[in-house]
Amino acid sequence: MSAPDRPLKKLGFLTIGLFDEHDPGPGHESTLQVIELGEQLGFDSAWLRHRHLQHGISSPVAVLAAATQRTSRIELGTAVTPLGLENPFRLAEDLSTVDVLSGGRLNPGVSVGPPTHYDDIKAHLYPDTADAEDFSYARVDRLLHALRGERVSTFEGTQGIETFSARIQPHARGLADRVWYGGAGFASVEWAARSGLNLLTSSVVRAEDDLVGDGDDFARIQRAQIDRFRELHPLGGAARVSQGLVVVPTDSATPEQAARYEAYAASRLDRTREPQGPGRLMFAPDLVGTSSQIADRLWEHAGFQAVDEVAFALPFTFEHADYVQILTDIATVLAPLLGWRSAV
């Protein structure tokens, strides 16, 4: 067992915020309670996935606005918001508002590319501009421009009894420096680095044989991407990278819970054996077991060895009680084994 290059400094978790289509309130309340629990347990950050036309959180910024009023310390993030479905101008207003409400705790994570099932939704999403929309990195640049407080209007001043600003209001100082990019391939990792963004790397990477050789080793590919990111980033080795593997400790789980967790991981194992689909995506195996067993696997994981921040992903389909048990074990047993110490 080898020690990581960097001790674990920041502990986070990620959830999809699952809910019942016919009674969505309890699911959203469960997500807020989980975030509150994370703060009580000392987690440094809580992150929400962004799901459109699914039974997971479709508006994480709105949910995080509610979370700002129920927490005081934990950082709040999106992992990630696909900008293809967003107007960067309006999103900047929402993000800035939530950051102000949180006291500067927001960490927006974003990605680009055409929206999923674009042909099926474009008539409602962009009825007049569907064929002209730009889904490139330029969309991130527009968001960053707005968040930095740069001009988004040619008019500034008083008109009648109203005063207008040339920059997004409210201006949340420092928010642009807390923007993360969710990258799975080298092109996006390299672009994020050159743009000075932070990097979210998850349980999915792209196997690119011409860049990393035989693309069948998730950990090796992820480590190569992290190293490349820091090589190109203006901050070098100090550039922030957060890893988001699915981690499920069973220390305090009931026998029924542990069996269900193992079955869940086993049902997803085949997809981790080789690159999947035309995008050649590699998925990391879910880590299920005692905290000691998971710690051993993480110490040996080439990607984990290169990071000092994590946002462990909660499985999508578990119950609220399961999340309470998993988060409690992560904060009280697993994370201390990884060298993390709670700030509370």
Q: Give strand pairing partners of 111.
A: 82
> Which DSSP category does 340 fall into?
-
What would the pLDDT profile of 140-185 be if each residue is shown by its tens digit?
Answer: 999 999 999 999 999 999 999 999 999 999 999 999 999 999 999 9
Q: Is the pLDDT of residue 218 over 80?
A: yes
CATH code, residues 10-149+176-337: 3.20.20.30
The overall average pLDDT reported for the chain is 95
- What pLDDT, on a 0 to 100 scale, did the predictor assign at position 210? 65
Q: Is the pLDDT of residue 324 over 60?
A: yes
* Closest among 52, 74, 55 to 64, alpha carbons compared: 74
The C-alpha atoms of residue 250 and residue 196 are separated, in whole angstroms, by: 38
How much is the average pLDDT of 252-261? 98
Please, what is the angle between helix 186-194 and helix 218-232, to 10°?
A: 20
Structure tokens at 99: 């950051």
Domain ranges within the chain, ordered by starting residue? 10-149+176-337
pLDDT in the model for residue 319:
97
For residue range 99-144, what is the model confidence (pLDDT) as tens digits? 999 999 999 999 999 999 999 999 999 999 999 999 999 999 999 9
